[in-house]
Structures are given as structure tokens and as C-alpha cells.
């Protein structure tokens, strides 16, 4: 093949490169023989993949017409097979859109999912689409969603016109929103479209054996449901250390369906957890201002100013004490914090809303984040493997925001979080702090809340947690679902 780079040649002294031209469309199972021979002289541009517009170029011996074309039979066969593959191999359709099985004569579609490391430029190059169209698509979507920010595994669909120009591009940004760009002469128009989920109420109940995540099914949507449930009761129950085999849970939760099929869980509307004989209940309520929270049967908020722990940990290796044998220095000295042992990289969350007072490396503390909270509280997070990007002095964080990851930087024997708390100028034991609750339901909304609470309470009462049956550890535990 000639080089894609141009150079100067005297075409009168050069023999042309001769090609046989085939008209080919991916949706057709047989290329059309145009019976045309074209000549390219050295120095002219020719695409390196042998494609010229909508045509494929088959090399021909220079100076000889193709009276006998039997040599191109293998090429024709390959193109026919490629056409059949393009027709019958259709990637998954985007949510909320029906999939066209057979392209029309005037247009065709390309469907796929973003591959690891792939950019929209790579996608256009892969399918031989006009780079000028990509420029206009990016320009149109710049204020809606940048096409430079596409995520591995997300589906896309491109509709093409008969001249291979892009008529529309659809890309699924996340589980809720699709980016849709359509050609509107003289350019393109971009918009975000909300995926039309159908919502129904589901009931889930089960019995704890080992831990909550195994009992619910520690993967996919079930794992996310377990996290959501533990988050609701995290101020009253430590799901790492407080759980007992035989504890039970009941959940009234939204299910979101697409085209009649389950896609994910929505909001937990009500929940009940029995831990070591004590019953905890939570009811979701959204006020007139649109703010939602979880409250107990009396309308008191379950949320407190601080989380019970800033991470999911395996055990506490050192507690708060004024005299501890230091594992490295081998001398007795105060340890005015809690050492939470957890795997390297475990996310560490802000205990409560606050302002970042320090974020960086500090001697024996290693990577350290210090947060200042209302009412004179300050929290310290030491030995972090790394501090999350964007966590800088003067910034603000909300309760539960990830601020870093467990590590062993500084003076440490292994991965753990050295967590400390101050009240004013004095360090205090975080495990003994009586943290006040957030505001409850206002008096003028209690009647409305009680009505919702009673309805959800009846739904919780109708759930019968299924008892766990003895079974090998390798098998999943049984959970009662009522959908």
C-alpha cells in the first residue's frame, strides 16, 4: 500500500498503482461489483486500511486489466462473512430504547459498549466515521456532558445516514441518565434524558448468619442493599462487632424495573432490625422541602452528628489509654485514640460534617487528615495509605464522605487507622462520646408522618424472616423475598 504521507513525484515517470473498486455496506451481505478500476499515483493520499469512502480497494497488478477476476473470490467471501457478522451480531440496546434488528436502506446503526481505555475518538476511528462529525458532536455536548468523559462498560448507539454521516449519538452516562445528541441542521443538539424506570414496592426478610452481607447475598444489588440497611442503623448498631447469629431483618424497599425486568433497588422505605433481642425500626420520611431522612416510631431522627465508626474494620488493636507499650518504641506512653485494623485501601469516611484543618504528611502520623466539627469537636485520621484527591485545607466535607484510605504510613507496624477525637483542647475516648441526635420531625408534620409510619409498619409486620438452614459455607444463605 502507498504511504499515507504525501511527497512530490513526477507522475509522468511513475507507473500508477491500480485498484479494483468494490461498493460495500456493512448491512449488505454481498458487496456490489462496480466494475471500476481506479489509478493512484505515488504521492496521493490513500487510507492505510484500504478503505476509500464507502468502497474497498483491491490491489491489481500494474498495467493489466482484470479480465479474469477469480483472484478476488477470497476477498469477496471475507466481506460477505463480515457483513453477516455485522447484521446478526448486535450489542445490547441502551436502556429505554428498542433495538432495531434490521437497518433501513437509508440508515444504519452501530451499537457497542465502551472498552477499557477507549475514547470516543477511538470508536469513530474503529468504525471509519467522519472526524468532522465528532468535532461538532463534542461542541454541541460541551455544556451538557463532555464526550471526553466516557466510562468503560457503558453502552452507546450511533445512527448513520446513507453517506456515512452521523445522524445521532446516544450514550448512557449512568444508571439514571442517557446523553442524546441528534443532528439539527446546521449542527447538532444535545440533551440529557432520564431513564424511565418503573417503581414497585418489594419486601425482603432474613436471618443473620455470619454477617449481613452474606445473609443478603454479598454481591451486586443485594450487596448495595446491605450497605444501605447498615447505613440507616449505623448510629445504633456496629455491623462489624455487634451482630449475632440469629438476628433478623425486615426491609420494605423500592424496586426499579426497566422493560419489566429488575434493574436495581431504590430507597428503603422502612426497615426493622432485631439485634441481640433489641428491636430497632426506621421509617423514611420526606418533608415538604424535599429533604428525606430516617426516623424512629416517635419521629426522632436516627441520624446523629457523628458516625459510630469512620470505616468498616476487622477489629480494634489498641484502645484509648494513658499507658500503652508502644509496639515500635518499646516504651510505655499514652495512646489517646483508637486503632482500627482494616485491609490496606479500605475507605475512611468523615465522622461528621466539618472543615478540613490539615491534609498531608505529618511525621509519625504519616498521611494525616484533621477535621474541625461544630461544637468544638476535632477528629484525626492517621497512617492513611493515601488521601483522597480534592481533600485540601479549608475545604468542607459531609458526614460519610470518603477522605482517604487505610494504610501504614509514618510510624506503624501494619495497615490500620489511628483515629482520635478532641473536645476543645483535650483528647477524649471516641467510643464513650454521647453524640446528640439530629432534629426530628417538626410538630406540624407529625400527623402526616404517623400516617406513613402506620402504613409501613403494617408492611413490616407482614414479613416473616426465613430461618437459616445449616448448609456448607460455600453455599449462599437463604433470604425470604416477597416481590
Residue 390, domain CATH: 2.70.70.10
Residues 426 and 337 in one domain: yes
pLDDT tens digits for 259-289? Answer: 888 888 999 999 999 999 999 999 999 988 8
Co-location of 27 and 50 in the same domain: yes
Residue 377 to residue 382: CA distance in whole angstroms: 17
What is the rounded average pLDDT of the residues 282-300?
Answer: 92
Of 57, 88, 119, the last residue of a domain is 88
Q: Is residue 10 part of a domain?
A: no
Classify residue 131: in a domain, yes or no: yes
Nearest-5° angle of CA 218, CA 224, CA 226?
65
* pLDDT at residue number 422: 93
User: Per-residue pLDDT averaged across 3-24, rounded?
Assistant: 44
Instruction: Note the pTM of the prediction, 2 decimals.
Output: 0.55
- The predicted-structure confidence for 171-218, as pLDDT tens digits, reads as follows 999 888 999 999 987 789 999 999 989 999 999 999 998 888 888 876
Cβ-contact 339, 318 below 8 angstroms: yes
Residues 74, 82: Cα–Cα separation, whole Å: 12
Q: What is the pLDDT of residue 234?
A: 82
340 and 428 co-located in one domain = yes
pLDDT at 285: 96
User: Does residue 56 carry a pLDDT above 60?
Assistant: no
Query: Which tens digit of pLDDT belongs to each residue from 347-387?
Result: 999 998 999 999 999 999 999 999 999 889 999 999 999 99
Determine how many CB atoms are found less than 10 A away from the CB of residue 458.
11
98 assigned to some structural domain: no
Supply the DSSP symbol for 413: S
Same domain assignment for residues 173 and 216 = no
Q: How many residues does the chain have?
A: 483
Expressed as residue numbers, the domain containing 395 is: 315-432
Query: Are residues 55 and 124 both part of a single domain?
Result: no
Q: Which of 26-35, 285-294, 404-413, 464-473 has the lowest mean pLDDT?
A: 26-35
Q: How confident is the model at residue 322 (pLDDT cuts 50, 70, 90)?
A: low
Looking at the fold, whether 418 and 319 belong to one and the same domain comes out as yes
Q: How many C-beta atoms surround the C-beta of residue 14 within 10 A?
A: 11
Q: Is residue 28 part of a domain?
A: yes
Residue 6 included in any domain: no
Q: Are 332 and 259 members of one domain? A: no
Rounded to the nearest angstrom, the gap between the alpha carbon of residue 40 and the centroid of all alpha carbons in its chain is 50
Angle at 466 between CA 464 and CA 471, to 5 degrees: 175
* Same domain (yes/no): 167, 155: yes
CA distance 196 to 225: 21
Q: Which residues are paired to 348 by β-bridges?
A: 404
Compare 236 and 189 and report the one with higher pLDDT. 189
Tell me, yes or no, whether 296 and 214 share the same domain: yes
Q: Do residues 183 and 263 share a domain?
A: no
Classify each residue of 129-165 as buried b or exposed e, where b means 16 or more C-beta atoms within 10 Å of its C-beta: beeebbebbbebbeeebebeebeeebbbbbbbeeeee
Is residue 445 classed as helix, strand or coil in its secondary structure? helix
How many domains does the chain fold into?
Answer: 4
Closest by alpha carbon to 39, among 64, 74, 69?
64
Based on the fold, state whether residues 428 and 325 are members of the same structural domain.
Answer: yes
Amino acid at each position: 500500500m502507498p504511504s499515507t504521507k504525501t511527497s512530490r513525484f513526477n507522475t509522468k515517470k511513475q507507473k500508477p498503482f491500480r485498484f479494483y473498486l468494490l461498493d460495500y455496506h456493512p448491512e449488505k451481505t454481498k458487496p456490489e461489483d462496480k466494475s471500476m478500476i481506479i489509478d493512484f499515483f505515488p504521492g496521493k493520499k490513500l487510507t492505510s486500511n484500504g478503505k476509500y469512502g464507502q468502497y474497498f480497494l483491491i490491489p491489481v497488478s500494474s498495467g493489466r486489466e482484470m479480465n479474469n477476476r477469480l483472484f478476488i473470490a477470497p476477498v469477496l467471501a471475507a466481506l460477505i462473512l463480515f457483513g453477516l457478522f455485522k447484521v446478526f451480531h448486535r450489542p445490547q440496546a441502551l436502556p429505554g430504547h428498542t433495538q432495531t434488528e434490521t437497518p433501513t436502506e437509508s440508515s444504519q446503526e452501530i451499537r457497542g459498549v465502551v472498552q477499557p481505555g477507549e475514547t470516543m475518538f477511538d470508536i469513530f476511528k474503529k468504525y471509519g466515521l467522519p472526524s468532522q462529525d465528532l468535532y461538532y458532536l463534542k461542541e454541541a455536548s460541551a455544556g451538557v456532558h463532555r464526550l471526553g468523559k466516557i466510562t468503560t462498560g457503558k453502552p452507546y448507539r450511533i445512527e448513520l445516514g446513507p453517506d456515512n454521516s452521523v445522524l445521532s449519538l446516544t450514550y448512557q452516562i449512568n444508571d439514571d441518565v442517557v446523553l442524546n445528541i441528534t443532528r439539527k441542521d446546521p449542527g447538532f443538539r444535545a440533551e440529557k434524558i432520564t431513564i424511565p424506570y418503573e417503581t414497585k414496592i418489594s419486601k425482603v426478610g432474613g436471618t443473620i448468619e455470619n454477617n449481613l452481607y452474606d445473609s443478603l447475598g454479598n454481591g451486586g444489588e443485594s450487596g448495595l442493599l446491605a450497605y444501605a440497611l447498615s447505613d440507616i442503623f449505623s448510629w445504633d448498631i456496629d455491623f462489624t462487632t455487634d451482630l449475632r447469629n440469629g438476628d433478623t431483618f425486615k426491609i420494605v424497599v423500592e424496586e426499579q424495573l426497566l422493560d419489566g425486568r429488575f434493574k436495581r433497588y431504590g430507597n428503603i422505605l422502612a426497615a426493622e432490625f432485631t439485634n441481640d433481642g433489641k428491636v430497632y425500626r426506621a421509617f423514611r420520611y420526606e418533608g415538604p422541602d424535599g429533604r428525606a431522612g430516617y426516623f424512629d416510631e416517635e419521629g426522632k431522627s436516627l441520624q446523629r452528628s457523628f458516625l459510630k465508626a469512620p470505616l468498616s474494620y476487622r477489629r480494634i488493636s489498641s484502645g484509648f489509654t494513658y499507658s500503652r507499650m508502644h509496639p515500635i518504641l518499646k516504651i510505655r506512653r499514652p495512646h489517646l485514640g483508637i486503632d482500627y485494623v482494616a485491609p490496606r485501601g479500605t475507605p475512611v469516611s468523615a465522622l461528621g460534617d466539618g472543615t478540613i484543618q490539615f491534609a498531608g504528611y505529618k511525621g509519625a502520623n504519616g498521611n494525616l487528615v484533621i477535621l474541625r466539627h461544630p461544637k468544638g469537636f476535632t477528629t484525626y485520621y492517621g497512617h492513611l495509605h493515601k488521601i483522597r484527591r480534592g481533600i485540601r485545607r479549608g475545604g468542607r466535607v459531609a458526614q460519610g464522605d470518603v477522605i482517604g484510605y487505610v494504610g501504614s504510613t509514618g510510624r506503624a507496624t501494619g495497615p490500620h487507622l489511628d483515629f482520635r477525637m478532641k473536645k476543645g483542647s483535650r483528647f477524649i475516648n471516641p467510643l464513650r462520646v454521647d453524640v446528640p441526635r439530629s432534629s426530628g420531625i417538626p410538630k406540624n408534620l407529625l400527623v402526616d408522618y404517623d400516617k406513613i409510619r402506620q402504613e409501613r409498619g403494617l408492611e413490616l409486620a407482614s414479613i416473616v424472616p426465613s430461618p437459616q438452614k445449616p448448609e456448607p459455607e460455600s453455599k449462599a444463605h437463604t433470604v425470604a423475598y416477597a416481590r
